[in-house]
Amino acid sequence: MDRPVRVALAEVDDGRLLERLRALPLQPEAEAHGDLYGSIGALTTQPPDVLLLGAHPDDADLPGALRLLRSLLPGMAIVLVAAAAHELELGPVCARAQAQQLLLPCTDGELAAALDRALTGSDRPTEGTFVDLARGVADAVNSPLLAVTGHLQLLLLQLDPQQQAGLRPALEAALAGAVRIQQVVDQVHLAARAADGPRRRERVELRDLLQRAAEGLPLAVEPEDDAFAVRGDPEVLQPAVAGFARFARELQDLGCRVQLSLSRCRAGALLRLRVESSNLPALPHWRLPHTFEPYYLNRLLRGSGNGLALFLAQAAVHGHGGQATARRQPDGSLAFDLALPTV
């Protein structure tokens, strides 16, 4: 089992944040401190992986404190915790200090997302930015696409089978293309819905979802006779797990060695995809902070049909209060982890 992530909090007023961190599926070891300067000794003696630091744009000492932390603990990730009203004001401070931002109030998914971004050192926009962009593009495309599809269907119905039979193959091909575009739009809408959290909560057995989706792929379940039930939205979790498995199958078809596993983690279930390759040039150049961006996969694997798979998986996991991470293992392989709280 991977060691727990160590998280420290300093000058954070939200009294429940510590409790909520400890309740995440991977159960980070979280410890609260009071005054930052009074805690420097403890932080340097046992450096955490991530520091959540309460921040306010009117604090004149904040830039100096961040410079001090960077000089003393260069390997520690920093997340500035602030009220949502201060997002724009603290943006430049975060950029200069290479820090993440956590805006309060936040959902468990947003808390997990901030922690995941900090651990990978991501400089990409927040997940919400991608969701908003995806939703906007999908909404803009949807109406004209429906109109085009309707006209194509009408033309097919009005074709004279005697005099215009030659037009049918072209119209059918155009309609099939429109249907494929609609499927992509539907995927984008599903990812946006997933990020908003489950609309309904039912008992969903992850083992069943994964076994159906991963047919033909190497799969290990540990313990074999255990249940991995999640209380969530099956209309989101099923396509998210299916997309994750399709991503694994595509890598396997390209010659990678893949291994899917489902196991217990500290406070939930851990779905892991481990990938290693000796003949896929793109794999060593995988940039971990960009893993869950929409269509990042297409930069590495031209023509991939799974460009939204990891984006949807992350949105679904965060929406259900879980964690989605990617890391490079000591042997050079990649591990993609989806951790969800179980019931």
Q: What is the mean pLDDT of the chain?
A: 89
pLDDT at 239 over 60: yes
pLDDT at 125 over 70: no
pLDDT at 1 over 60: no
Contact 229, 204 (CB under 8 A): yes
Ordered alpha helix ranges (H), the chain: 17-22, 36-45, 62-72, 87-97, 108-120, 127-158, 168-195, 206-213, 234-253, 296-300, 309-319
Residue 170 backbone phi and psi in degrees, to 5: -65, -45
Q: What pLDDT is attached to residue 122?
A: 66
Range with the largest mean pLDDT of 179-193, 204-218, 298-312 = 204-218
Rounded to whole angstroms, the Cα distance separating 100 from 121 reads 9
Tokens of 48: 């955490």
End-to-end CA distance of the chain: 21
CA 186 centroid distance within chain: 18
> For residues 255 and 52, which has the higher predicted lDDT (pLDDT)?
52
Q: Summarize pLDDT for 277-324 with one digit per residue, the tens.
A: 767 777 888 888 889 988 888 888 877 888 889 999 999 999 999 999
Q: Edge to edge, what strands does the sheet with 77-83 contain?
A: 29-33, 6-10, 50-54, 77-83, 100-104
Q: What pLDDT is attached to residue 126?
A: 64
pLDDT at 52 over 90: yes
What predicted TM-score, i.e. pTM, was given to this entire model?
0.78
Contact 8, 51 (CB under 8 A): yes
Rounded to whole angstroms, the Cα distance separating 293 from 314 reads 9
Q: Output the DSSP codes for 181-227.
A: HHHHHHHHHHHHHHHT--SS-EEEEHHHHHHHHTTTS-EEEESTT--
Q: Residue 21: how many CB atoms within 10 A of its CB? A: 23
> For residues 128 and 172, which has the higher predicted lDDT (pLDDT)?
172
Contact 100, 77 (CB under 8 A): yes
User: Would you give the DSSP letter of residue 232?
Assistant: E
Q: What is the mean pLDDT of residues 263-274?
A: 92
* Beta-carbon-side half-sphere exposure of residue 89 (alpha carbons within 13 Å): 15
